Structure 1
Amino acid sequence: MVVAQRKVQYEEVQPRESRHKEKKSVGISKKNKVKASHKLQIIISITALVGLCIGMIFGYVQLTETKYRIYYLDKEAGELSAQIENLKVELESVKKTDIIETQAKEMLNMQYPQKEQIVYLSLDDQPIMALKDTEMKDLEAEEKKGLFFLKDMFAKMYALLD
């Protein structure tokens, strides 16, 4: 009988433990459901943080590219301003009459004309001919006379109207 009593006791104890395990599994499943919603929140939070980090990195990349572009444009602007300064210096040297005169004398073997080499031209309807100093003085005296003076004055006024 002792064996039979132990068997009964074993059967009585075993269902109680299984009932206790069932209660634990129900309690655990409720905790898992709560944890599942927490897991979803954690996953969404991590995804949002990763997205923000990627956005920040992309912003820094754009900023760095812009800085490089500005650097190279500044460098190019400096080179162009140096080139402009060189061209201004060259222009000033070309504009100076002293330099032009020396280049004309040295490179082209030019010289100032002498008095005998000067030729004065008449711009009237007459054919072009060389005039001497005395003839030039006579021509100036004629210009001062009335009809020639009026003709010259009308020509100047007509030139101003154009």
Structure 2
Amino acid sequence: MLVAKKDSTSYLDNNQNPEKPKRMKKKNKYNRKNRVGIKLKVFIYAIVMLIFCLSILLRYAQITGIRYEISEIDTNISKLERKKQNLIVKLDEIKESDWIEKEAKEKLEMVYPTENQVVYLDINNNSSEVAKAEDNGKPRDNDDFIFLKSFKGWLDKIMNIF
């Protein structure tokens, strides 16, 4: 059996708007939720990129600060090396015997000893003989030599080592 279809066409007036199907409204709701999710994801990615870029900038700032400190330290090193070289030159100058002699004569007014100022001592003699030679044969009190007598043996041993 064949059923005939009724073909009905209605012509709408220009003033009448056709109704929107309900399916479209559901898609709009779905699209709105999807749009909010996409916007949230984009916002999160933007924040992550911002944090990443800021961390890179902070690292470059730290590197620049450290390079500045290194350059300051290098200049200090070069200054100290120049000062060291100057001190080495002064030390070499001071070590020279001519300079020492000149300074002794000029500042300290020193002169070379004369023949009557030179005294030669014999180290092998006993300390009591040296004391007699100093006194030009004058007798000394025994109290002055108590210390020397007590350590005479020790002094002789030390002198023999050298």
Aligned to 2:134: 129
State the one-letter code of the partner of 1:39.
Answer: K
Aligned to 1:101: 101
Aligned to 1:75: 75
SS of 1:50 mapped into structure 2 = helix
Question: 1:27: Cα distance to partner?
Answer: 2.1
- Cα distance in 2 for partners of 1:161, 1:105 equals 37
- Cα distance in 1 for partners of 2:114, 2:32 equals 118
Percentage of matched positions with identical amino acids: 24
Give TM-score scaled by structure 2 length.
Answer: 0.65
- Cα distance in 1 for partners of 2:113, 2:159 equals 31
Aligned to 2:111: 111
- Cα distance in 1 for partners of 2:92, 2:98 equals 11
State the one-letter code of the partner of 2:69.
Answer: R
Aligned to 2:33: 33
- Cα distance in 2 for partners of 1:27, 1:112 equals 119
Give TM-score scaled by structure 1 length.
Answer: 0.65
- Cα distance in 1 for partners of 2:94, 2:156 equals 34
Question: 1:155: Cα distance to partner?
Answer: 5.2
State the 4+ residue runs in structure 1 displaced beyond 4 angstroms. Answer: 154-157, 159-162
* Equivalent pair of 1:121/1:129 in contact (CA under 8 Å): no
Aligned to 1:85: 85
State the one-letter code of the partner of 1:90.
Answer: K
- Cα distance in 1 for partners of 2:118, 2:135 equals 9
* Equivalent pair of 1:122/1:129 in contact (CA under 8 Å): no
Pick closer, same or farther for the CA change 1:63–1:128 going to 2, 3 Å.
farther
* Equivalent pair of 1:93/1:99 in contact (CA under 8 Å): yes
Task: Note the 1:47-86 alignment, pairs <5 A.
Answer: 47-86=47-86
Structure 2 unpaired stretches of 5+: 1-11, 137-153
- Cα distance in 2 for partners of 1:105, 1:156 equals 39
Pick closer, same or farther for the CA change 1:130–1:92 going to 2, 3 Å.
farther
Give RMSD over aligned pairs: 3.0
Q: By percentage of residues, which structure has more helix?
A: 1
- Cα distance in 1 for partners of 2:51, 2:101 equals 74
Structure 1 unpaired stretches of 5+: 1-8, 132-153
Question: 1:61: Cα distance to partner?
Answer: 0.5
Residues 93-102 or 27-36, more deviating: 27-36
